[in-house]
Chain A
Amino acid sequence: MALWSENTINENRWYKLDNAAKIYPAISSGGGNVFRVAVQLKYSINPEMLKQALATILPRFPTFAVRMHKGLFWYYFEENPKEPLIFLEEAPPCHIIRPDHTNGYLFRVSYYNKRIAVEVFHALTDGVGALTFLKALTFQYLALSGFKLTTDATVPQLGMLPSAEETEDSFKKYYNSRIRSKWKEDKAYQIMGTRLPGGHVHIVHGIVSINDFSRIARERNATITEYVAALVIYSIYSLQLRKREHPQPVKVSIPVNLRNIFPSKTLRNFSSYANVGMRFSDQEYSFEQVLDTVVSIMKQEIQPDRLKEKISANVKAEQNIFMRLVPLYIKNIVLRTAFNAFGESLFTCALSNLGIVKVPPSMGEHVERFEFLLGRPVLNMMNCTLCSYGNEMMITFTKSMHETDIERFFFGFLVEKGLEITIETN
C-alpha cells in the first residue's frame, strides 16, 4: 500500500516565517536551534507503523508539512509534496537537521528502542507546537497498533480540518506599533569549563517526584521553574563566583509560553522569554536570597505589558521597511552578526519548562514518560529543560562541557532537601 502520494498536497500553499522564526535560518549554519520532545512507550517501536502514523497525521499539521525556500527578501515555507521519513535515532540528540536527508522537512521523527522522538528546527514551531505534534503522532501510532483509544481535548482531533488559528503568526496579532521598548540587556556571565569536542554533548537527566519538588518550591512561595532557575544560578555562584566580585550577572533565560497570556491556538512559534538573574558582589549569598530575587524579577517579566513590549519591539524590527527591502543574503549577515554579538551572550544558561504533559487516560496507559531536550548550546556551556508527566519530573542538563560539578552541586542540594533523585545519562 502506498502510504504517501505526491498528489495529495496542493503545492500553492505557502507561509511566511513567523516573527520569532525569522532569526533561526540565519544563525543555524552550525547546527543549533534544534530541540526535541520524545515519548517513552512501554513497548518497542515498530518502524513501519510509525511511518504510517506519520504519513497519516502530517496533513493535519500544514505548518509542519513544509520545506524552506529562499526568496529574494525572506525565507518562506512551501508545502512539501515529498514523503515524510522516519529514522533510527543517531547520536547526538538534536544534531543538525539537513533537509537533503529528510526529504526537505525541517523536523525529524526518530525511534530508539521504546522511544519516539520528534526533533524540530525552531523556525517551525516552539515546544508547545512540537509537543502537540508528538502527542498526535503517538496517539495515531498506538491506534494503528490496535489499541482502543478514546480521545479528549489534550490531543488534536485528526478528522478535523486544520484551523486558520493554528497556522497564524500570533505575534502579529498582539503587537502594538506605538509601544516603545526602552529595555537594554547586559551581557551575562559565562560558565567556565572545558568545551567538549565539536558535535559531542553530555546529557544528564535527573528524575524527581513532582509532588516532592513542588512542595519544597511552595514552601518558599516559588514556582517550580523559579526554584530551578534560582538553584542553577546559586550552583554557578557557589562553584565559580563565591567571594569574588564579578561585573556580569548570572542570568537564566526562561522561555515564556505566550499562549497562556494572550489567547492563541497557533502551532507555530508563540513564545517570548524572561531573562532573570543577579549580579554578585564579594559578600556571601544564601540560596533563599537568590530565590527571592528570581521570584520578584520573574513577576515583573511576565506582566502582559512587559511581554507586549518585547513582542512589539521584535515585530517592529521585522516590519521596518528598510529591513524588509534588504536582500536576504545581506539580512542573514546582519542577523548573524547581531546574534553573535548579543544572542546567547545575554544569558548564562537557558531554562525551558515544557510543563506537565497531559494525555487521554487510555493513551497514558501505554506511555512511560515524556522527555524534552534542547540542543547543544553554542556559546553557553549548558542549558536545562524540565518536563513533567504523571508524578515524575525530569530535569535535564544538556552540556557542551566536560566538568560535572554544576549538576553535582545542583542535585546534591536537592538531596539535602530530602528529595529522591534518579540520574540517567547518555
Chain B
Amino acid sequence: MKYCMHCKIKVNTATHKCPLCNMELHANPSGKSSSGEGDSSAPGKYPSMKHERHYEYNFLLRLLIMVSVVIGSTSILINIMTYSGDLWSLVVSGTIILLWITVAYPLYIKRNIGHFIIVDVISLSAFIYMVELSTQSKGWGLTYVTPFLFIAATLMITFILVIKRLNWREYTVYQTIMVILGFLPPLFCAFKLVTVVWPSILSAFYSFLTVTGMYIFVHKKYGDELKKRFHI
C-alpha cells in the first residue's frame, strides 16, 4: 500500500503515481505493507485493456462495392443521355443489386437459411416484376414466376423443418411468413395485375395445405410458438 502526500489518501494499486493528482507516491507512513508494486494479491485490480482492432478492412468487399457502383451509375447515366423510351439501365442495376442480395448478403451476414430463402424469394419476384416493367415482354413474372417461387420456397422450408428438428422453432416463423406470402398471388388477380388465374390459385391452395399440415401434425407446439412470437 502506498500513500499520496498531496491528496492524503492511501493507494492500493500497483502504480508509482497517484491516480487522482498524478504526483509521486510514497511508502505508506503507517508502514503496514510496502510490497505495493507487482503485488498480485492487491484486491480490485483489473485485467489490462487489450489493444482492440477496430474493424477488419476488407479490401475485396470494398473493391466489389466500388465496381458495382461504377457499373450501375454508368449505365444509368448512359441510359438517360441516350434515352429512347427504354429503361434498360434498371435491369443492369437491378441485376447488380440482386447479385448482392443473393450471393454477398448470405456470405457476410450470419442468419438462418429460412431468412435467406424469404429474402431471395421477395427480391427475385421484385426484380422480375421490374424487368417486366422496363421491357416489352409483359405478364409472365407475376403470373407464373412469383406463385411458383412461393410454392417452391414454402416446400423448401417445410423440408428443412422436417429435417432440422432441433431448430424447428426458428423455421415455424419462416413457414408462417411463407404461408402468408402464398396467399398474396390471388390478390394480383383481384387487382387485374394478371390474367391467367390458375398459378395464383395453386399458390394459395398450397399455402392452405401447408397450414393444414402444420395444424394436424404439430398444432400444439406451433400454436405456442406463434403465441410467443406474436404477443402484443
Contact = CB atoms under 8 A, between A and B. Distances in A.
A91 B48 CA distance: 6
Interface residues of B, number: 32
A369 B43 contact: yes
B50 A91 contact: yes
Contacts of A330: none
Interface string B27-55: 00000000000001111111111101000
Given A73-B231, A421-B9, A421-B10, A408 B20 contact: yes
A247 interface: no
Given A16-B231, A411-B7, A203 B46 contact: yes
Contacts of A325: 232
B9 A40 contact: no
Contact of B230 (A73, A92, A200, A204): A73
A90 interface: yes
Interface string A69-113: 101111010100000000011111100000000000000000011
B9 A69 contact: no
A368 to B, nearest CB: 6
Contact of B7 (A114, A199, A207, A415): A415
Interface in B11-29: 11-13, 15, 18-22
Interface residues of A, number: 46
Interface of B: 1, 7-13, 15, 18-22, 40-50, 52, 224, 228-232
Given A205-B44, A404-B21, A423 B11 contact: yes
A175 interface: no
A412 interface: yes
Given A114-B43, A199-B49, A424-B12, 5 more contacts: A69-B229, A73-B231, A78-B228, A112-B45, A411-B20
B226 to A, nearest CB: 10
Nearest to B170: A69
A423 B224 contact: no
Chain B: interface secondary structure? loop
B231 A76 contact: yes
A1 B19 CA distance: 47
A114 B46 CA distance: 11
30 contacts: A40-B44, A71-B228, A71-B230, A71-B231, A90-B47, A91-B46, A91-B50, A92-B46, A92-B49, A112-B45, A112-B46, A113-B45, A114-B41, A199-B49, A369-B43, A408-B20, A411-B9, A412-B7, A421-B9, A421-B10, A422-B10, A422-B12, A423-B9, A423-B12, A423-B13, A424-B11, A424-B13, A424-B42, A425-B15, A426-B45
Nearest to B15: A425
A16 B22 CA distance: 49
Interface in A387-426: 404, 407-408, 411-412, 415, 420-426
A371 B231 contact: no
Interface string A186-216: 0000000000000110011111000000000
A74 B231 contact: yes
Contacts of A368: 43
Contacts of A113: 40-41, 45
A322 to B, nearest CB: 11
Interface string A31-74: 00000000010000000000000000000000000000101111
